[in-house]
Amino acid sequence: MLTGNALAAVLALLAVQSCVVEASTGDDLEEYQDCWKLCDIVTCNNRASYPDVEDPMFELMMKDQQKTGRFEEMPMAWNLRFLGWKCYDNCDYQCQRMVTQDRQAKGKEVVQFHGKWPFIRAFGMQELFSTLFSIGNFFPHYWGFETMWRHYQKEMGMHGDVEAAHAYWAYLIVGLVASCAWVSSALFHLKDTWTREQLDYYFAGMTVVSALYAVGMRYFHLYLTKNDSKRIIFGAVVILIYLGHVTRLVCDWSYTYNMRANVTLGLLEDVLWVAHALTTFREQRVSKSLLKDLKNPKVNWTLIPIVLVISVSMGMTFELFDFPPMFDLLDAHAMWHLCTIWPAIYWYPYMVRDVESGVKEKKFE
């Protein structure tokens, strides 16, 4: 599905960046390392970690802090503590900003730290726009989940269609998992921690496999009652693939492996959706003229998956051509998250029409 491939693409590009975290230019800058050390000593009371700092030097450091107020004193503001900022993280942030401002004043390029741009913190949020746009992605997916759930309950009723219910069940899983994934993404961009990064990757991977299950179920007609056993086996295989994926990451976290696994399944998923779109388009055609059918809204709706996949792929160019954040707030990754909102809005109505026309009505043709 589109959502799975979109997040897989994000993972692929983030993985490349994450693999070079240790090699980020900013991390090796002497002024950044000195700044972080100074802040850690004078505000985090962590002098014990630096045995090379003797008493006279320590006294000078403390006098400088008292005189200049260079670093934020502890305790931190309540909103920072609420969002998960620690003294150590706060020193990292302050020194990134100090070094960046100094470099900008001297006409030098902005560099990354730990594989990320040195954003300005807004209301305590580490990446303002990526957080807001992740939240923006959550709403259409949650709305989609609720829509699928209502249709599923209806079809499971006394006068419902059990095969349509099977299709809606697969689609509602996609909406539910994607909703959780975007919540995890928002938390990760809100304040980067190792736990939040893991959750972000686990849920993103889950969107890929859940979407693969949905399109596989639809394309191979596993929603049919006669294919109940095949659908169960396919679902079990998908679950085992995901559990194996997570186990691999837990035992040996690898950005490269994660990238390859998600991209491979995401591309397979997109191929199936394109194939499904072309198949249903041929089935829905009412004219011998291809141009007329392409213009006919009663027919061309079947091609929506192709349009959305292409749109998301085009939006991915923001990630391919990364740039320092504008106004120290808006970067290419945030723009990519913005570009994934509108396709989700169109995706779930397509799913409903796909079931109503491709599963239910087809029985009476």
Query: What digits encode the pLDDT tens for the residues 110-155?
Result: 999 988 899 999 999 999 999 999 999 999 999 999 999 999 999 9
Q: Does residue 23 surpass a pLDDT of 90?
A: no
Task: Report the pLDDT value the prediction gives residue 363, as an integer from 0 to 100.
Answer: 57
Q: Does residue 21 surpass a pLDDT of 50?
A: no
Q: Does residue 273 surpass a pLDDT of 80?
A: yes
**The token pair that represents 91 in the structure block:** 């020193």
**The token pair that represents 20 in the structure block:** 């070079």
DSSP state letters, 166-179: HHHHHHHHHHHHHH
Q: What is the mean pLDDT of residues 311-339?
A: 86
Task: Report the pLDDT value the prediction gives residue 316, as an integer from 0 to 100.
Answer: 75
Boundaries of every domain in the chain:
2-20+123-364, 22-105
Q: Does residue 279 surpass a pLDDT of 80?
A: yes
Query: Alpha-carbon distance 274 to 276, whole Å?
Result: 5
Please tell me the CATH code under which domain 2-20+123-364 is placed.
Answer: 1.20.1070
Which residues contact residue 319 at a Cβ distance below 8 angstroms, ignoring those fewer than 6 apart? 9, 10, 13, 332, 333, 336
Answer for the pair 215, 276: CB distance below 8 angstroms, yes or no. Answer: yes
Mean pLDDT of the chain: 88
165-220 pLDDT, tens digit each: 999 999 999 999 999 999 999 999 999 988 999 999 999 999 999 999 999 999 99
Confidence band (pLDDT; 50, 70, 90) for 256? confident
Residue 357, SS3 per DSSP: helix
47-65 pLDDT, tens digit each: 888 888 888 898 899 998 9
Task: Report the pLDDT value the prediction gives residue 13, as an integer from 0 to 100.
Answer: 42
Least confident of 188-197, 285-294, 311-320: 311-320
